Amino acid sequence: MSADALLDRLQRVRKTGPDSWIAACPAHEDRSPSLSIRELDDGRILLHDFAGCDVEAIVGAIGLELSDLFPDKPIEHGKRERRPFLPASVFEVVRLEIGIAVVIASDMHRNKTISEADFERLFVVVERLNDIAQAAYGR
């Protein structure tokens, strides 16, 4: 349903701005218009009664249902971002993780005993690099 079709069912309608109006609320005895109506770019119609009537009561009072405030076609939302991270940020994490692995590998190469924490940190490096690869290739 369009906003115009809705407005035809209301009393004391007055335009308040682009795609917005105020009217007498049909759900209660309204001495001065308290119902705000706004049509969004995607065709949805928003209603708000400053006197406190809920939307179900408003649409019911004029013989409509909540679904009448929404366009027949599905609302298209923005497309999902496939790569939510900046490549430079991902590269920086990879560079840091490889640097940690190199330091620990260097200590191992010199036959220096590495701590349990450093050994466990190597597994964190592998996990993080695998997570990055999975995110990159969608696996």
CB–CB of 30/24 below 8 Å? Answer: yes
Instruction: Using CB atoms within 10 Å of the CB of residue 134, give its burial: 0 to 12 exposed, 13 to 18 middle, 19+ buried.
Output: exposed
Residue 84's SS3 state is: coil
Q: How many helices (H) and strands (E) does the chain have?
A: 4, 4
Domain stops at, among 69, 99, 125: 69
Q: What pLDDT is attached to residue 88?
A: 76
pLDDT band at residue 13 under the 50/70/90 scheme = very high
Overall domain count for the chain: 2
Verify that 96 and 47 share a domain, yes or no.
Answer: no
- Which alpha helices (DSSP H) does the chain contain, by range? 3-7, 55-61, 87-109, 116-137
Verify that 52 and 106 share a domain, yes or no.
Answer: no
**How does pLDDT run across 127-137, given as a tens digit for each residue?**
989 888 887 77
Verify that 61 and 109 share a domain, yes or no.
Answer: no
Residue type at 61? A
- Taking each helix axis from N to C terminus, what angle separates 87-109 and 116-137, rounded to the nearest 10 degrees? 150
Q: What pLDDT is attached to residue 71?
A: 84
Measured between alpha carbons, how far is 118 from 86 in angstroms, rounded to an integer? 29
For 34, which DSSP code? -
| Structural domain boundaries, residue 91 | 87-137
pTM of structure: 0.52
**How does pLDDT run across 30-75, given as a tens digit for each residue?**
888 899 999 998 889 999 998 889 999 999 999 999 999 988 766 5
